[in-house]
A and B are shown apart, each in its own frame.
Chain A
């Protein structure tokens, strides 16, 4: 045959985009190993969008120039508080989207968890309330995952149904009114700080590391990527695809439950309408963060930047007195802009042959 022996020319592996041109500073022994480790696990996919961190930086600079209060500790505490719940929900959403699914029900899951948690907590105490919240998240996740894997309903429809069901349940249980009477020691979580850092921010950072760890370092995490990247390949390699998908939905709902706890503490009541916009915001943050809706690509690091972008944009526009209607419009345009830039970068990279 006349074709090339090797099929394709062998190209040298490309350096991760973030690291190109700037070699890591020389460190000794253990230090170098750490650098190597971080590079290996925080590389290409994590920083697939070098554009997004830059966009976040640009936002910060712009709002600092435009508003005297933007770059203050108080304001950043504010941003952190607002971002914490969205971050948790988005990290969970990231698991599902990595399997090429989507969870539209996270918003009403937050509402349901809030109502159940408050109802239990006001009579049986904080621990029971938190356990009830997590149990609710678990049940929602198992049902979502079960409908997707056993009944083979496409994720969009399955979770759309759950959106309605969970919302209906939340409204029924609470009779449509806020559930009050939560202990102060619980609601104070939202106000407490360690040093200058609000506790909800600490919680979300801690859970960020949990998500990062699970996705990068565990077998389950690897299988989440495998299922989303090529489901058939995963199946033929002996990965229990259905179990992995089910577990991803459970992770998603558990993270949503954690987000619901923070929001519930902040509003000091169980709210049946909590988190109405959080489903779309979380998908926005995840997609902005470079996670492919087709699954298998992206990382929770990118998602964290996505959350930062959405939160800082909202906060800054508030400070500038932009109406919330206009903010929605700007957020939509920003989403398109960031994705367009990302496509462009991706295309350049492809043409460069890396």
Chain B
């Protein structure tokens, strides 16, 4: 008897974009009823693979079989017809329509022949049932979808695939934009769907989550298939090593420089409702880490220093001189560079070339007598792009790069300004593990040249490894200050939770 064909068989899939091969000869299979996780660094090809599989884009080579039958999806509609539904990061929500219309969109129940007259009652029932199955009883079907929160929008999208009884649901980083409890709820839903026989393929950067729900894990690197293994046999460390292709201790680089004179000093910074009486100093050549929970006020302090928000009280000194920062241009002139968390949104002119984007704030320094020195721009941007491992053509528009590479561009851009005070807010969020060491190396290099570096990070290993000293904040106040010798996970967490009731979820997130 011949072996039963797997649910989905992917064979030799290749997809090329101008300048980049996103997928190269990728083969794997997905069994019916399993939860299959797809992991890899940014640009590894995960998104491309699931786009091909769900009909959002077409592969150049290779074949896909569903239950032994070759398919070639020309559109998401075609993939849906075979029971494959993709849920993407950019949520496909019709903001002006109500929840029901969103859930039945493309699959509306209708009356009579011709299938054109909408059956409103049945649509509501179907939407309600799908939401109830997800435990989303608090999402009203008549509400306008645009007014829902992110987690609820995501539930609406999942309800859409449930309403059509899709045997395979593909999710692209379903928990990326969800706070802890919503993310846990979603994982519970994934397990429930699996219990009903639905097959799930999902992409995630949260490896502990992959461990928790996946049956099997496929790792991609540089568009190639690295391995597919049982999740139970793959600890997180091993996943990372497979993704990066090198041992873990080469990722987080410790600081190299001995700090010098005090370069930056904050005295009693206060902004009502956000933070209170925050004082600290950073020496030239020093990396100061800021740890704490999300919402502890760390980013708010940095935004105020960078002139994005007003301070109610307190002062800022650079090299002993008081600096008045009222708006971002004041900060830039004073030599303060702030790399916000949300780099893509705030940092790039997507239609301009990567090179132009990187050079934008430094043009003055790249010019002589008002004329931009093209060669100097080229050399410097080439250099930094190479070191940050920006994947893609630097002369192409910034929008042609993947999300992670766009983030690198923003980092490159501010690094080129050679600031006195450099503030990184979540410096490696959304950046591949492989490029992380490059970010740290550049960070340390800028410190070595005399800059004061501040790193706000929710990733504890990161902040513990790369900083000289650390400040912990909780509820808008500084709750602890530690020297590198005293760095201790338990002590940091205690300070981070000062004033909070500590729960299991919180611990995991910190």
Contact = CB atoms under 8 A, between A and B. Distances in A.
B406 interface: no
A2 B509 CA distance: 9
B295 A236 contact: no
A71 interface: no
B296 A2 contact: yes
B117 interface: yes
B179 A8 contact: no
A240 B78 CA distance: 10
Given A229-B94, A230-B95, A237 B117 contact: no
B97 A6 contact: no
Interface in B157-173: 160
A230 B110 contact: no
Interface in A223-254: 225-226, 229-230, 232-240
Contacts of B90: 232
A219 B94 contact: no
A234 B96 CA distance: 13
A7 B179 contact: yes
Which of A230, A232, A236, A239 has most B Cβ within 10 Å?
Answer: A236
B80 interface: yes
B506 A229 contact: no
B295 A226 contact: no
B107 interface: yes
B143 A13 contact: yes
Given A217-B117, A219-B118, A232-B90, A239 B77 contact: yes
Given A2-B293, A232-B90, A237 B152 contact: no
A347 interface: no
Contacts of B180: 1, 3
A94 B380 CA distance: 52
Contacts of A342: none
B92 A233 contact: yes
Given A7-B179, A230-B92, A13 B117 contact: no
B394 to A, nearest CB: 27
B93 interface: yes
A219 B179 contact: no
Contacts of B33: none
Interface in A2-58: 2-8, 10-11, 13, 40, 45
B181 interface: yes
B118 A236 contact: no
Given A4-B179, A220-B116, A229-B97, A235 B505 contact: no
Given A13-B143, A219-B116, A230-B93, A236 B88 contact: yes
Contacts of B107: 237-238
Interface size range on B against A: 35 or more
B75 A233 contact: no
Contacts of A150: none
Contacts of A45: 96
Nearest to A298: B96
Given A226-B105, A233-B94, A2 B294 contact: yes
Contact of B509 (A1, A6, A7): A1
Interface in A101-131: none
Nearest to A44: B144
A222 interface: yes
B94 A1 contact: no
A11 B152 CA distance: 13
B94 A238 contact: no
Given A217-B117, A234-B106, A7 B97 contact: no
Given A2-B294, A222-B108, A236 B94 contact: no
Nearest to A235: B76
Interface in A47-89: none
A2 B473 CA distance: 13
B218 interface: no
B179 A3 contact: yes
B28 interface: no
A2 B295 contact: yes
A298 to B, nearest CB: 9
Contact of A236 (B76, B95, B509): B76
A6 B147 CA distance: 13
Interface size range on A against B: 20 to 34
A217 B143 CA distance: 19
B346 interface: no
A349 to B, nearest CB: 12
B151 interface: yes
Contact of B105 (A6, A13, A232, A239): A239
Contacts of B118: 217-219, 222
A297 B96 CA distance: 7
Which of B75, B94, B147 has most A Cβ within 10 Å?
Answer: B94
B273 interface: no
B110 A7 contact: no
B95 A1 contact: no
B370 interface: no
B150 A7 contact: yes
Contacts of B45: none
B115 interface: yes
Nearest to B508: A1
A203 B86 CA distance: 45
B38 to A, nearest CB: 18
A222 B103 CA distance: 13
Interface string A275-302: 0000000000000000000001100000
A1 B506 contact: yes
Contacts of A8: 148-149, 152
A236 B293 contact: no
B46 to A, nearest CB: 17
B101 A219 contact: no
A234 B80 CA distance: 13
Given A10-B138, A222-B108, A230-B93, A1 B293 contact: yes
Nearest to A9: B149
Nearest to A3: B179
B182 interface: yes
B449 interface: no
A229 B96 contact: yes
Contacts of B75: 235, 238, 240
Contacts of B93: 230, 233
Nearest to B458: A1
A238 B82 CA distance: 12
B62 interface: no
28 contacts: A1-B509, A5-B182, A6-B151, A7-B151, A8-B149, A8-B152, A11-B147, A13-B143, A40-B120, A217-B118, A225-B96, A226-B97, A226-B106, A229-B96, A230-B92, A230-B94, A233-B93, A233-B94, A234-B105, A235-B75, A236-B56, A236-B76, A237-B107, A238-B80, A238-B105, A238-B107, A239-B106, A240-B77
Given A226-B106, A230-B94, A296-B96, 15 more contacts: A1-B509, A2-B506, A5-B182, A40-B120, A219-B108, A219-B115, A225-B94, A230-B92, A233-B91, A233-B92, A235-B75, A236-B76, A237-B106, A237-B107, A239-B106
Interface of A: 1-8, 10-11, 13, 40, 45, 217-220, 222, 225-226, 229-230, 232-240, 296-297
Q: What are the 6 tightest A-B residue pairs by CB atom distance, in nearest-first order?
A: A7-B149, A238-B106, A233-B92, A3-B179, A2-B295, A8-B149
